Amino acid sequence: MSRRTRWMVTLLVVAQLGLILACGSGGVVATRGPRWACPSPTPLPYGEAGPIKEIITHTRPITEGGDWEEIIYYAEWEQEYPDAGGPPFPSPTPYALVGTSYLFGQRVEVWPVHVQVDASAGPPVTSPGVAAGSQQLYYIDITWDNHALEPFVMPYGERVRLRAVTSPAGAVLSDARWGMTNLSLQLANMEPPPDLVPPGVSQVRIPVLAPPGEPETVDLLFAANPDYVPLLPTSTTLPGTPTPTVGGAPPTPTLAPNDELRASEAPLLTVQWSNATWVPPQAEPCADPGALTDWSGEEVAWGVPAALQVAAPPGADRLIQIVLNQVGKPYIWGAKGPEAFDCSGLATWSYAQIGINIPQGTAGQWPHMRPVEQHALQPGDLIFFDIAGRGRIDHVGVLAGDLDGDGRWDMVHAASPRLGVRADYGVFESAYYAPRIRGFRTAR
Amino acid sequence: MLTHLFRPMLLLLVLLLLAGCAAPLTYAEVQATAQVTGCWPDPFPTPRAVTVTPADSGPVEPPLPTTTPYPRCPPAPGATQVPWPTPVPNPPPYPTMEPRPWQGGSDQQTTLFLPSNVLTIDLATHPTERWAAVGAVVWSGNRDPERAFVSVYHPQSRVWSPAHQVDIGPSQLGRYSRTVAVAISGDRTVHAVWGMSDPDFRDNDPPSGIWAGSSTDFGTSWSPPLRIASDCRRVNDLAATLDGTLVAQLICNDGPDRSVPALVVRRPDGTWLPPERLPIPAWYFSEGSLVIVGEGDDARAVGILFAGQGGLPMAYLISKRLADAGPWHVEARPIVAPGGELGERMWHVRGLVFERPSGDPQPAPGIIFTWTDAEAGGAYALTSLDGGLSWGPVERIAAPQHAGEQLAFVAPAYDPAADRLVAVWTCCAFALFATPETTHYASWSVPGSGVWRPGTDAARVPLVFGARSAFETVIAQARNSRSGWIAWIERQQRVELRSFELNQIVPVDQYQLPGGQP
């Protein structure tokens, strides 16, 4: 071994030792929230808090002040809807609030690793001390792709859980105690997996005992440390990235009784994989990234009062899926959902579910949203009506694309107290609706 | 040193001047500038990743690319550098209780944590024993159905059972009625009632209904679901007695456009009676609560239901001696609260029966119902000191102190040693699909006084249950127990539970004992 090689090995060992010491109780160190490994846009700051999209130089006579520059920032909607003409919104960012729930088999980035989790049912267990028919083996298969140069500590017995199973009777059972034990290893005739995840691609199988059924949900727990900088083979840190620091002082607790009981705990990031039934409309799962990452993400936003409200990387498909799920609900004037809607409330609530805030009421939506021509309509755009013929906007629907495959625009709307939320087809050809259309607005 | 700092500043200034009178720089131009200045020009968008090989790469050959990125250039004079990308903040400390040896209770535990949102929860204790059961409805958010789960705390092993889905087979929850209520009868049977509705209720085909199931082994197994009411959508509450009588408050359809409340009673022998619909103009989403005072032939069910009338909130107080065959007694009462206007919709209603210390061998039990205002965000109570025969005025427990605050959930408890009612409420946001900082606070009151401390404008008393982003919060308490159970939905997805002792909430000076707090 040459001197240089020894030096490099020593460097790596020191780095690994430092990592292990820094990890404390061990575990993969997640430096940021999980994301789909599919190409996935992630929410970023926008407006003046975000990057500059474009600088337009305007010519002006020197007598009027000379040339001036107009700085254009990205709008919120441009995170997910690439603008046709301008530069795309920069992505990704290490700060993503995209949720922690995925499908079995889905490859997920929990930087600096990619991890894929699957689970399968094993044989029923017959063993002394285990009541007949009460337990079954399950196998949790984890594929790691560790992009760092050093291995990570992963105590599988503590950090992997079969969170839920579906019993033969069809009932989902959920518990936090179904993990790898000496008994499960013995019954599976397996050796304990190594606690280190090596650099590169590796696989591990974890046996777990749980009530009989099919695997429903698996938890993987990561130690979370946004300050940790993994040792990577090449620079993957964006130039210009500041050293991560705590964003401001922590909130000062209000002095009050029982303050002496306050405590803190090491942050853990729980990422879940499940066999949820999710079939995106007209798309493969990867074509609609983040579809199952919508309602969670709490570990990423530690204590942050929802500064980034965008909880789901949406797509037009996702919005339409949400709107269609409301069909059949009642119309109640003034209702903003989710149990009942009025016409504008349906649009506002549905957009809110994908993290886009649009004005409330037709009186807010019609004048304050961006107009769009009919030829440029996209699914998800809003269509406004003057139903009563009194010369003012009194109704709005969400254009849903071509739902029935006849090549015509269909819409979902909270129609009336009698009709509730419903889909109406061929709206531009409808003898009732077409003459009452007054225009369109978009949140794109 | 000064030269070292001055050079990037000067170049940056030149760059800005150039940018001010010419087309925006390309990425390559910015990158080249960065390589000269040693820092990335501050106002420019974060670029794509680049690899920079330093001139002196040390003893390692071939030279490794540096892992040190360019720092950002100092901001221009007078400008503020915006953090970019936004760093992930460290988690702040949050209030929690230290572990302690509970007698019949437990420290904070998570009984349910699935990938989807928990929409609603309910909590019940055995009438005289201090063990509990919690029900939760989980919204899938995908094409899986909504599911109702129940976990039970085993009084001997002191372990929560796995959360068990109870709405299986034909009783599976629909997508529009997502309520579950739990109760425990004296024979240690855990009961669950849940609302099921047809996904397309415009034709009500198949008709919506209410289902019930029970477990006699502390939640390990459940009886097949039993349909106890048809054409009903929602269960507001379920109450049980020692002898096994159950009463559930429901919301049912009354034709295609109207809803009415209904009461359904289960006799101690297990027979469910047909639901009795009450002629009260309710909403299909009207919320209410129900308690049972007394036992055996003296048992009376007392409930409250909220609806609106002419834009004003209206409470309907419902009562009946369960041994009687007669109709339910209904008293309509407009809700007028002190200290401000109310919205039309009252929600998140909870009820509690309490027995005050008295020399009377058969003291009249007290009843408290608490709720919040869906629009104005305040927390309120209605109290009876005579078992529901008469009621005091509406009491304001707490109110928002700032615009935008909302006290979304409130639940009552009672400390028999101090003779104080306690209300635990959440503040200061309401967001099912987000995780705002929302935790628990407490107020207390002498029963019947109508005065809750601390006052609305006084410093609030936060509780240390361990919530960082608490959504729905419920409390259950065995009769006049000194401790209770509290459950809440934490950060949208988790059902958190813990025991708490009331003397850790009620201040010392509220105890009328020589030594103060016992």
Per domain, the residue ranges of chain B are 1-84
State the count of interchain CB pairs (< 8 A) between A and B. 264
> Measured between CB atoms, which of B89, B164, B433 is closest to A311?
B433
Between positions 417 and 436 of A, the ones with CB within 8 A of B are: 417, 420
**Beta pairing, strands B420-427 & A101-103:** unpaired
Question: What does the domain layout of chain A look like in residue ranges?
Answer: 1-28+94-232+265-280, 45-90, 317-442
Residue of A nearest to B73 (CA): A240
Nearest to A118 by CA among A245, A265, A220: A220
How close is the nearest chain B Cα to the Cα of A130, in Å? 16
Q: State the burial class of residue B88 (Cβ atoms within 10 Å of its Cβ: 0-12, 13-18, 19+).
A: buried
| A residues 2-31 lying closer than 8 A (beta carbon) to B | 4, 7-8
Report how far residue A170's alpha carbon sits from residue B205's, in angstroms, rounded to the nearest whole number.
Answer: 24
Give ipTM to 2 decimals.
0.78
Question: Got the DSSP string for B340-372?
Answer: S---S-EEEEEEEEE----S-SSPPPEEEEEEE
Enumerate residues 80 to 99 of chain A having a beta carbon within 8 A of any beta carbon in chain B: 90, 93-95
Q: Does A321 touch chain B (CB under 8 A)?
A: no
Nearest to B21 among A45, A67, A353 (CB): A67
Q: Do B88 and A306 touch (CB under 8 A)?
A: no
| DSSP classification of residue B108 | -
Distance CA B216, CA B32 (A): 75
Scanning every residue of chain A, which has its alpha carbon at the shortest distance from the alpha carbon of B115? A101
| CA-to-CA separations, A427 to A396, A408, B17, B137, B329, in angstroms, rounded | 12, 8, 54, 37, 51
The answer, for B88 touching chain A at a CB cutoff of 8 Å, is yes
User: Are A269 and A221 within 8 A, CB to CB?
Assistant: yes
Residues 181-220 of B with CB under 8 A from A: 199-202
| Spatial separation of the C-alpha atoms in residues B400 and B133, rounded to whole Å | 32
Residue B464 DSSP class:
-
- Chain B nearest C-alpha distance from A60 (Å): 11
Pairwise CA distance, residues A290 & B444, whole Å: 45
Low-confidence residues in chain B, pLDDT < 70: 1-32, 34-35, 38, 40-72, 79-99, 141-143, 175-177, 197-207, 432-435, 513-518
Closest CA to A190 of A240, A141, A256: A141
Angstrom distances, CA of residue B182 to CA of A12, B267, B496: 57, 16, 16
Of the candidates B96, B178, B289, B227, the one whose C-alpha atom is nearest the C-alpha of residue A329 is: B178
- Which is nearest to B425 in space by CA: B440, B413, B438, B445? B440
pLDDT of residue A345: 92
What integer pLDDT is reported at residue A8 of this predicted model?
41
Residue A179 has what pLDDT? 96
Q: How many CA atoms lie within 13 A of A279 on its CB side?
A: 3
pLDDT of residue A55: 80
Spatial separation of the C-alpha atoms in residues B168 and B145, rounded to whole Å: 10
Closest-CA distance of chain B to residue A106, Å:
14
Neighbours of B263 (CB within 10 A): 21
Q: What is the pLDDT of residue A416?
A: 80
Compute the radius of gyration of chain B from its Cα atoms: 29
Position of tokens 């199988």?
A205
Q: Do B95 and A274 touch (CB under 8 A)?
A: no
Q: Are B497 and B108 in contact (CB under 8 A)?
A: yes
CA distances to A313, B171, B214 from A309, in Å = 11, 35, 40
- What tokens appear for A162 in the block? 């079969």
Angle, vertex CA B110, rays to CA B108 and CA B114, nearest 5: 165
* Alpha helices per DSSP H over B255-319: none
Chain A partners of B30 at a C-beta cutoff of 8 Å? none
Chain B within 8 Å of A58 (Cβ-Cβ)?
no
Which of these CATH numbers, 3.40.50.10320, 3.40.50.800, 3.90.1720.10, 3.40.50.880, describes A317-442?
A: 3.90.1720.10
Residue B120 structure tokens? 């609603």
Per-residue model confidence (pLDDT) at position B137: 93
Cβ–Cβ contact A143 with B under 8 A? no
Q: Within a 10 A sphere around the Cβ of A236, how many other Cβ atoms?
A: 14
The stretches in chain A having pLDDT less than 50 are: 1-28, 35-44, 76-77, 79-98, 234-264, 279-316
A105: left (phi over 0), alpha (psi -120 to 50) or beta: left
Query: Phi and psi of A205, rounded to 5°?
Result: -120, 130
CB atoms within 10 A of CB A367: 11
Helix-strand-coil split of chain B, %, nearest 5 = 10, 40, 55
Residues on chain B touching A86 (C-beta within 8 angstroms): none
Residues on chain A touching B43 (C-beta within 8 angstroms): 52
Rounded distance between C-alpha atoms, residue B505 and residue B465, angstroms? 11
- Alpha-carbon distance of A73 to A94, in angstroms, equals 20
